[in-house]
Amino acid sequence: MTDDTLVGAAIDDCRDHMAKAITHTQAEFGAVRTGRATPALVEKLRVEYYGSEVPLQQLAGFQVPEARLLVITPYDKSSLKAIERAIEKSDLGINPSNDGTVIRLTFPQLTEERRKDLVKVVHQRAEDGRIAVRNARRAARKDLEALEKDGDISSDELERAEKELDKITHDYVAEIDRMVQHKEQELLEV
């Protein structure tokens, strides 16, 4: 392999890891309640179903007929109680209403204090995302330094690659910052 392909492979691998960190952070933000009903709040909820834990999205369909109402329709009516139990155990803080066919979740208006708490949660999850991006950069840097040590790339090539890594890292961290701003606005909106 040539110097460029070795460096390119390390940088591409790093980009891939950073993109996964962004996707994960975005999914984490989706699970933070904004006062509006959205399936993202419950679809990953683990439900005890016939002896195994299954994500709720595999057991039921979701509808949002109103801004603060989420209707969960189980594919199998026998899973209704298990779904209800999983929602009660979750940290959503919402009591499910079961009519024997569907489960309704009514989301109350968020208080100002609760909104500020949720903003703190979002900032913590964003920091976790930034750390994941930096860890990907650190791993790529180690790979590049190992290539230089083995004599596969020159020190100039290493320096150029590290500058490129820093630029990529900055771009991904800026993307997380944009996502935080958007989610914070969404949370503080009354």
Residue range 47-65, pLDDT digits in tens: 888 888 898 889 899 998 8
Tell how many helices (H) and how many strands (E) occur in the chain.
4, 6
Residue range 75-119, pLDDT digits in tens: 988 888 999 988 888 777 778 888 888 999 888 777 888 788 888
pLDDT of residue 71: 92
DSSP helix/strand/coil, 42: coil
Task: Decide if pLDDT at 190 tops 70.
Answer: no
- Edge-to-edge strand ranges of the sheet holding 60-66: 60-66, 69-74, 103-106, 97-98
Query: How confident is the prediction for the chain on average, in pLDDT?
Result: 87
The CATH 1.10.132.20 domain(s) of the chain lie at 3-31+111-188
The CATH 3.30.1360.40 domain(s) of the chain lie at 39-106
CATH of domain 39-106: 3.30.1360.40
The span from the CA of 73 to the CA of 80, in Å, is 9
Q: Are strands 69-74 and 60-66 parallel, antiparallel or unpaired?
A: antiparallel
pLDDT of residue 35: 67
Q: Specify the pTM.
A: 0.70
pLDDT of residue 41: 79
- What mean pLDDT do residues 119-124 have? 89
Residue range 21-48, pLDDT digits in tens: 999 998 888 777 666 778 877 888 888 8
Q: Torsion over CA of 66, 68, 73 and 74, rounded to 10 degrees?
A: 170
Superfamily of domain 3-31+111-188: Ribosome-recycling factor (1.10.132.20)
pLDDT of residue 2: 57
